[in-house]
């Protein structure tokens, strides 16, 4: 029985022509083929390995990303608004978020010296650019994109993303708060 199922999945299902089957059976066979191809692609593309690597890298990059967000938000005078928005988004994890804020603030404070500031900001940007680059490389590999973008294109896109993301995050949070307070009848 088990061998028959394995043979059906590996060989026999691919010999069936959906056009010759009743509609319901054709739908089941087509769905099974899609599921089999999805599982094979998931395994072939090493998705679990990539997901765990991206998770680890993202976790290690949280503090530099939050520090950059706060640095940019502070420049626009939105530091408290960003802090409030992030606390609302992680309502069940207040202590963890406050610890992350503390680590990010320490990172920003340590980057205030003259030489240390240059090194600190360089490391901060390098960490964030590297994180975004790893995400892009993983998707390129999964989607079979052979040649990536040029370094200059990546740099300009990543820099734009790093500078615009905090502003957009703060703006969306502000709009949400504004709409919630002004439109109570919805």
> From first to last of its 186 residues, what are the pLDDT tens digits of the chain?
777 778 887 778 887 888 888 888 888 888 989 998 898 888 888 888 888 888 887 787 777 778 777 777 777 777 787 788 777 777 777 788 888 888 887 777 766 665 556 676 777 778 778 888 888 888 888 888 888 888 888 888 888 887 888 788 778 877 877 787 777 655
Q: What is the DSSP letter of 146?
A: -
Domain boundaries, the chain: 2-44, 47-182
* Closest to 103 in 3D by CA, of 57, 74, 66: 66
Longest distance between any two alpha carbons in the chain, whole Å: 75
Buried b / exposed e over 40-77, threshold 16 CB at 10 Å, is eeeeeeeeeebeeebeeeeeebebbbbbbbbbbbeeee
Residue 148's region, left for phi above 0, alpha for psi from -120 to 50, else beta, is beta
* pLDDT computed for residue 186 by the predictor: 54
- Confidence at residue 116, expressed as pLDDT on a 0 to 100 scale: 57
Is 124 within 8 Å of 135 (Cβ atoms)?
no
pLDDT at 185: 56
- What sections of 9-113 are H helices per DSSP? 13-15, 23-44, 47-76, 79-89, 94-110
Residue 64, classed as helix, strand or coil, is helix
Helix (H) or strand (E) holding 17: none
pLDDT given at position 131? 81
Provide CB contacts within 8 A for 178, sequence distance 6+.
none
* Rounded Cα gap, residues 9 and 88, in angstroms: 48
Token pair listed for 41: 């692609």
Q: Is 68 helix (H, G, I), strand (E, B) or coil?
A: helix
């Amino acid at each position: 029985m088990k061998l028959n199922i394995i043979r059906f999945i590996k060989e026999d299902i691919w010999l069936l022509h959906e056009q010759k089957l009743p509609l319901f059976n054709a739908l089941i066979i087509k769905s099974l083929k899609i599921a089999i191809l999805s599982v094979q692609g998931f395994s072939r593309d090493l998705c679990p390995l990539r997901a765990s690597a991206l998770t680890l890298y993202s976790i290690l990059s949280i503090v530099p990303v939050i520090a950059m967000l706060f640095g940019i938000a502070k420049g626009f005078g939105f530091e408290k608004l960003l802090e409030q928005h992030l606390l609302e988004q992680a309502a069940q994890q207040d202590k963890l978020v406050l610890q992350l804020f503390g680590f990010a603030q320490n990172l920003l404070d340590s980057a205030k010296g003259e030489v240390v500031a240059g090194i600190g900001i360089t490391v901060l940007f390098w960490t964030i650019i590297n994180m975004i680059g790893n995400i892009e490389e993983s998707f390129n590999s999964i989607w079979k994109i052979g040649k990536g973008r040029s370094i200059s294109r990546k740099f300009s896109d990543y820099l734009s993303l790093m500078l615009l993301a905090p502003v957009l995050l703060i703006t969306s949070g502000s709009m949400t708060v504004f709409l919630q307070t002004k439109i109570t009848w919805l």
